[in-house]
Amino acid sequence: MSIKIIGTGSALPVKQVANGELTKLVDTSDEWIRERTGIRSRHISTGETVASLATQACQKALQNAGKEAAEVELLMVATCSPELALPCTACQVQDKLGAVHAVSFDLNAACAGFLFALHTAYAYIASGIYRNALIAGAEVLSKIIDWADRSTCILFGDGAGAVMVERCDEGGILGFVQCSDGSRGRVLSCGSRPLNNPYASQTDFETYVQMDGREVFSFAVRQVPASIEEVLEKTGLTVEDVDLFVLHQANRRIIDGICKRLKADPDRFPVNLDRVGNMSSAAIPVLLDELNAQGRLSAGMTLVLSGFGAGLTYGACVIKW
């Protein structure tokens, strides 16, 4: 028994911001951004919220799956940039969708969040607790980025993607691995709210994304291929058996580095980060939805999904589509 993806959806903010526009904000250039990251443009919220983008993506995934909101049993939103601390984004989405029977909660594992949520759905459904799940990865990272910091503001974009999954007897998720290394949390971090009560307060507190870019880069190109090889070994497959590697879209050089280490054909690594930037937990489901809409996913194909990010967290799964 396993779970399979039966529908996908995505939503992006209307406003697109090309690299050239960022040169008006910070000392950078289109050429520098393209060469170092592969990013040309990204979508940035001018009012769209994590909850509204997640709702749109979920509506489309439901429609694509031919399901009604009232049929959903489990609803998870992976996000690290929610509007509200309370209630969670998934409960807001549940309300907007009318998914009245869905147990709804958020999950935060940064850029690996969507994948960890997918694995969580697998565990719930495999154990017989639920029969289906609606899973979104949604971010408005533009809220937590310092727009005066040229080393980070060029990297990120806003958006949401979603998938509907249900129990299946054949194919679907064949295996997965997931890992966390909390000892390297400082490599990529963002404060939420400082301690501020009648007895104590924090003054030196950073509420914007802080990143050691080189550390992130070397972590990704070492750990991600290792975790992909591990999950392939677990499922009795090799790199050659994989039709598409749907990786977290952090930056082009990371994807090229992973491809090189795996000695795989670059054509099997679809990329959309040139148009959308790094959307953290939304990256994988948005790319999956684009591939699905383009008709590039057909029954029986073997996919590897791989997410990695702050925590540090990383994981991979093999899917028979």
Contact residues: ligand ACO, CB under 6 A = 28, 32-33, 36-37, 111, 150-151, 154-155, 188, 211, 213-214, 216-217, 220, 250-251, 253-254, 278, 308-309
Smallest gap from Cβ 60 to ligand ACO, in A, equals 24
Which residues make Cβ contacts (< 8 Å) with residue 126, sequence separation at least 6?
A: 1, 2, 3
Nearer to ligand ACO, 119 or 252 (CB): 252
The encoded tokens of residue 286 equal 């948005």
Pair of tokens at residue 287: 């790319």
What is the CB neighbour count within 10 angstroms for residue 95? 14
- Would you call 43 a catalytic residue per the annotation? no
Sole residue written with tokens 């073997």: 302
Give min distance, CB of 134 to ligand ACO, in A. 24
Nearer to ligand ACO, 155 or 284 (CB): 155
- For ligand ACO, give the closer residue by CB, 67 or 184: 184
The crossing angle, in degrees rounded to 10, of helices 50-65 and 283-293 is 40
Which residues does residue 179 pair with via DSSP β-bridges, in sequence order?
Answer: 314
**Distances in whole angstroms, Cα of residue 74 to Cα of each of 58, 126, 135, 203:** 12, 13, 8, 40
For residues 74 and 254, which CB has a smaller minimum distance to ligand ACO in the complex? Answer: 254
- Examine the residue annotation and report whether 101 is marked as an active-site residue of this protein: no
Bridge partner residues of 175 (DSSP): 318
Cα distance between residue 225 and residue 36, in whole Å: 20
**Minimum distance between the CB of residue 277 and ligand ACO, rounded to whole angstroms?**
9
Catalytic residue among 80, 91, 111, 153: 111
Looking at the Cβ atoms of 155 and 244, the one nearer to ligand ACO is: 155
Q: 293: which residues sit within 8 A by CB, 6+ positions away?
A: 8
Nearest to 228 by CA among 288, 283, 306, 284: 306
Q: Sign of torsion, CA 53 216 231 176?
A: negative
Residue closer to ligand ACO by CB (options 113, 172) is 113
CB-based closest residue to ligand ACO: 213
Assess whether 292 carries a catalytic annotation: no
Residue 146: CB minimum distance to ligand ACO, A = 12
* Annotated catalytic residue within 64, 278, 292, 317: 278
- Which residues have a Cβ under 8 Å from the Cβ of 301 and sit 6 or more positions away? 243, 244, 320, 321
15 vs 36 by CB, closer to ligand ACO:
36
Least Å distance between CB 310 and ligand ACO?
Answer: 7
Query: Annotated catalytic residue: which of 248, 259, 292, 317?
Result: 248
Judged on CB neighbours under 10 Å (0-12, 13-18, 19+), 137 is buried
Q: Phi-psi region for residue 236, left (φ > 0), alpha (ψ -120 to 50) or beta? A: left
Provide the minimum distance between the beta carbon of 81 and ligand ACO in the complex, in angstroms, as a whole number: 13
CB 55, min distance to ligand ACO, A = 24
Residues labelled as active-site residues: 111, 248, 278
